Structure 1
Amino acid sequence: MDALAGLLDGPRARGAFLLRMVMDPPWAVRVEDRAPICLMSVRRGTAFVVPSGGGEPVRLGPGDIAVVRGPDPYTVADAPGTTPHALVGPGGVCTTLHGRPLSQDMVLNVRTWGNAADGATAVLVGTYLLDGEISSRLLDAVPPLLTVPADARTRPLLDLLDAEIAQEEPGQRVVLDRLLDLLLIAVLRAWFARPGADAPSWYRAMGDPVVGAALRLLRNDPAHPWTVASLAARVGVSRAGLARRFTGLVGEPPMAYLTGRRLAVAADLLRESDATVEAVARKVGYSTPFAFSAAFKRVRGVSPQEYRGSPPEDHLDLPVRQRRLPDGRPLEKLVP
């Protein structure tokens, strides 16, 4: 496993919010949805992403991609000084700044939304709605706003996403989710490969001959009954030496990292399979479902059964049944 794979196995969109926004100037949309990550790319024209708190506006041209990490608000506009006319809140609910619903007023086509069907600017938007679809380690690795210029690697994915976003075929949601995951992975790969990239310490640790080997062992077989001593023996160093070197490079001790890895794998299994809690516990290295449940609740704040039964919505203010996407679709139908 290469160093980047540990970062990029995290995106798991499930009913992501995707649309094409088509606008004629002047236009500006204030985004306060508190979503963990939003990815956007200009297909024609230009757009500016204006961070909150006085950050420098970032200009996007055709093919350029921006990734915005929540929960801080931001504005997308035709120019940095344009006053927002629309507000996107939790769950993709779109209103005027005074609260009047805009969802139906601005629907142009399937997953196409804006103020003009042939507007000068078209922007593809893909948003991960729920915490847990993006690993916390990935979120920690990226800044609040990053941009990647148009290039030959991302262009085919953008073309495919643009073509699929207006379709309504069997399995369309899954196709769009996976395209969004692939595009995000491609963008992050390009961002980490740029000159002078400030990669997080745990990412750089994958290149260390000792710690990298230990990380690969833990990731490839999290269910193994690892101890610091057994892990140190496998990589050929002392227990104390591994603990010190691992903690210094990764930012947490080996067994804390292992716990996080086990529970991340368990969370995916709970959402994506019908395995019992006992079976999931065994697959990630817990001897009893009671020990697993206690560890899961301590880290995630809910029991495994609660996690499986309802998606995490701590960052959303409205009940699922009351939420609407900008194209008018109820969010409850998009949440597995």
Structure 2
Amino acid sequence: MDALAGLLDGPRARGAFLLRMVMEPPWSVRIEDRAPLCLMSVTAGEAWIVPAAGTEPVLLRPGDRAVARGPEPYTVADLPDTEPRARIGPGGTCTTLHGEPLSQSMDLGVRTWGNAPDGSTTVLVGTYLLDGEISGRLLDALPPLLVLPSGGRPGPLPALLDDEIARDEPGQSVVLDRLLDLLLIDALRTWFSRPGAEAPAWYRALGDPVVGQALRLLQNEPAHPWTVAALAGRTGVSRAGLARRFTELVGEPPMAYLTGWRLAVAADLLRETDATVEAVAHKVGYSQAFAFSTAFKRVRGVSPQDYRKGGGLP
């Protein structure tokens, strides 16, 4: 697993909030769901995204994609100055700005929502509801709003998602989750590989023949009793050479990176499995639960048991 795949394999989309929004002007929706990540793709018409105060609105045309990173609110509308007429809250609840429910009145069919069944604007919306710890490094590297213009050449994935989103067949939610994953991975790879991109150090390091190999070894085998010498042996360079090159490209020494990765994997295991603390410790390379708990509390501020119960930072 590489660090980009970790975003979606850490958790992947599981029962993601997916819908086709069909609107006829004037319209404006305030998004306050505090979701960690939301992907939008315009398939017809135009939509403006109005981020937090102090940030310029962005226009999306057919084929354009946008990724909004929570938990800051934002508005999606036909025009930047259209006053919001609906609010999306946590869990996908839809109300007026005064709290009156709107879900039924704007229900247009299976995973389809809006103010007009034949509206001139259609936006595909996919929202990740989980905030997995492995994805933290990547989420921290993203701007609050990431926009990818299609340049008049929309790819096949939005069209495929558009075709599948309104179907109601056995296993459909799993199909949609995987399509959303593919659409997001493609968007992030495109974003980080564009000219002048300020990709995070660990992402750029993945392209280095030595450090990239070392990163993948650490990520794929976190329970292995790694040392810098062992890692250097597997990558075919000297111990000093690997330590220097890894630190220069990633921004921290190999063993410091490994500790952070192990604890990130452990955090997901604590939240998403019933494995005991001792079992989690062994899965991420700690021979004793006490040593693992001490390291976890030092970094997270809470014990593994309290973290599992919902304590600590999300």
The TM-score, its normalising length taken from structure 2, stands at 0.86
Per the TM alignment, residue 210 of structure 1 is displaced from its structure 2 partner at its CA by 4.0
What is the aligned partner in structure 2 of residue 138 from structure 1?
A: 138
For structure 1, which segment, 41-50 or 220-229, has the greater mean C-alpha deviation from structure 2 after superposition? 220-229
Q: In structure 1, what is the Cα distance between the partners aligned to 2:262 and 2:90?
A: 30
SS of 1:208's partner is coil
Q: Does 1:33 align with 2:33?
A: yes
Q: What is the identity, as a one-letter code, of the residue corresponding to 2:63?
A: G
Q: Does structure 1 conserve the Cα–Cα contact (< 8 Å) formed by 2:6 and 2:134?
A: no
Quote the residue 2:50 is aligned against: 50
Q: Does 1:8 align with 2:5?
A: yes
- Mark the CA change 1:39 to 1:234 in structure 2 (over 3 Å): closer, same or farther: same
Unmatched segments (≥5 aa) in structure 2: none
Q: Give 5+ residue unaligned stretches, structure 1.
A: 316-336
TM-score normalised by length of structure 1? 0.81
Q: CA RMSD in A?
A: 2.9
C-alpha contact 2:243 2:253 (8 A) present in aligned 1: yes
Give the whole-Å Cα distance in 2 for the aligned partners of 1:53 and 1:302.
Answer: 34
1: CA distance, partners of 2:260 / 2:185: 21
Contact 2:111 2:166 in 1 (8 A): yes
**What secondary structure sits across from 2:146 in the alignment?**
strand
Task: Work out whether residues 293 and 304 of structure 1, in 8 Å CA contact, stay in contact via their aligned partners in 2.
Answer: yes
State the match for 2:224 in structure 1. 224
Q: Distance in 1 between matches of 2:260 and 2:41?
A: 33
Per-residue deviation, residues 223-280 of structure 1 (Å, max 9, x unmatched) = 11112343345442344x5444433321233222112322343455556666555444
Say if 2:127 is the partner of 1:127. yes
Q: Deviations over 1:108-144 (max 9, x none)?
A: 1111111111111111100111211770121123221
Matched, 1:237 2:238: yes
Q: Distance in 1 between matches of 2:69 and 2:60?
A: 17
Distance in 2 between residues matched to 1:121 and 1:157, nearest whole Å: 19
Q: What is the rounded CA distance, in whole Å, between the counterparts of 1:59 and 1:83 in structure 2? A: 16
Distance 1:155 1:281 in 2: 43
How far apart, in 1, do the equivalents of 2:17 and 2:64 lie? 20
Pairing of 1:138-287 with structure 2 (within 5 A): 138-150=138-150, 155-235=155-235, 236-239=237-240, 242-269=242-269, 277-287=277-287
* Distance of aligned partners of 1:89 and 1:139 in 2 relative to their CA distance in 1, 3 Å threshold: same
1:333 maps to: none
Larger RCO: 1 or 2 (CA < 8 Å, sep 6+): 1
SS at match of 2:117: coil
Please name the residue that 2:18 is paired with. Answer: 18
Question: How far, CA to CA, are the matches of 1:114 and 1:242 in structure 2?
Answer: 55
State the SS of the aligned residue for 1:160.
Answer: helix
Q: CA deviation at 1:283?
A: 2.9
Are the equivalent residues in 2 in contact too, given 1:13–1:133 (CA < 8 A)? Answer: no
Asked if structure 1 preserves the Cα contact closer than 8 Å seen for 2:20 and 2:165, the reply is yes
Task: Measure how far apart 1:168 and its partner are.
Answer: 2.4
Aligned to 2:80: 80
Change (3 A) 1:102 1:301: farther
Distance change in 2, residues 1:125/1:300 (3 Å): farther
Counterparts of 1:119 and 1:161 in 2: how far apart (Å)?
19
Cα 1:89–1:134 change in 2 (3 A) is farther
Matches of 1:111 and 1:313, distance apart in 2: 34
1:101 positional shift: 2.0
Secondary structure of the structure 1 residue equivalent to 2:261? helix
Q: Distance in 2 between matches of 1:170 and 1:246?
A: 47
Q: Percent identity?
A: 73
Judged with a 3 Å threshold, the aligned counterparts in structure 2 of structure 1 residues 228 and 180 are, in CA distance, closer, same or farther, namely same
Q: Deviations over 1:38-94 (max 9, x none)?
A: 100111111011111221211111121111111221110001111111122222222
CA distance in 2, matches of 1:313, 1:69: 20
Q: Against the structure 1 CA distance between its residues 293 and 109, is the aligned structure 2 distance closer, same or farther, given a 3 Å change threshold?
A: farther
My pick for the range that moved more, 196-205 or 152-161, is 152-161
After superposition, what is the alpha-carbon deviation per residue over 1:132-157, rounded to whole angstroms, capped at 9, x for unaligned? 17701211232211122337996322
